[in-house]
A = this chain, B = another copy of it.
């Protein structure tokens, strides 16, 4: 479906097609195509990497990406408060409740009420969960390594640097409005 060669041979096929289509629609001048290119590739790359890691590493352990993230947060930090686990895993407390129920049923985590404030909850890996993560994270990281091997070391650093900058920018946009720049 490609037409004349795109000016930038680095573009993915999907991008070439969309770019030409937006030109046909007369929208290419009305849009910030640079921003669109940057962000749509963030989304696509994240989806692709996540799917690949789920398929090759997580599915055999019957774990979703989010379940793995929660286990990872607990593995790195040890027993932690429920609300902090949610924050560090990037999900809401409502979602974490469900994910923990699944992991508890699998006997990978356990919940414990705070001694003094019974509203609060601690969460920790079980021995079984710790044992799983000790092996699984190395495998997961090998999967990350295989994916990142397509970039040279300088490129990996640069990618990480640009993405951090982007995250800071998102935070800046988030706080735009009264009282902020």
B contact residues around A164 at 8 Å (CB): 10-12, 15, 41, 45
Asked if A38 is at the interface of the complex by the 8 Å CB criterion, the answer is: yes
A binding-site residues for B, Cβ under 8 Å: 10-12, 14-15, 18, 21-22, 25, 30-32, 34-39, 41-50, 52, 56, 76-77, 88, 90, 137-138, 141-151, 153, 155-174, 176
**Chain B positions within 8 Å of A144 at CB level:** 32, 35-36, 38-39
Known A-B contacts A45-B167, A76-B22, A167-B41; A147 and B159 likewise in contact (beta carbons under 8 Å) = no
Q: Is the pair B156, A34 in contact by a Cβ cutoff of 8 Å?
A: yes
User: Is there an interface contact between A159 and B159, defined as CB atoms closer than 8 Å?
Assistant: yes
State the number of copies, please.
Answer: 2
CA distance A64 to B105 in the complex (A): 30
Contacts A167-B12, A170-B52 hold; do A36 and B141 have CB atoms under 8 A apart? yes
Q: Is the CB of A35 within 8 A of B163?
A: no
Q: List B contacts of A48 (CB < 8 A).
A: 166-167, 170-171
A90 touches B44 (CB 8 A): yes
Q: From residue A31, how far is it (CB to closest CB) to chain B in Å?
A: 5
With contact pairs A42-B42, A50-B43, A138-B31 given, residues A169 and B157 touching in the complex (Cβ less than 8 Å): no
Known contacts A49-B39, A141-B32, A173 near B160 by CB under 8 Å: no
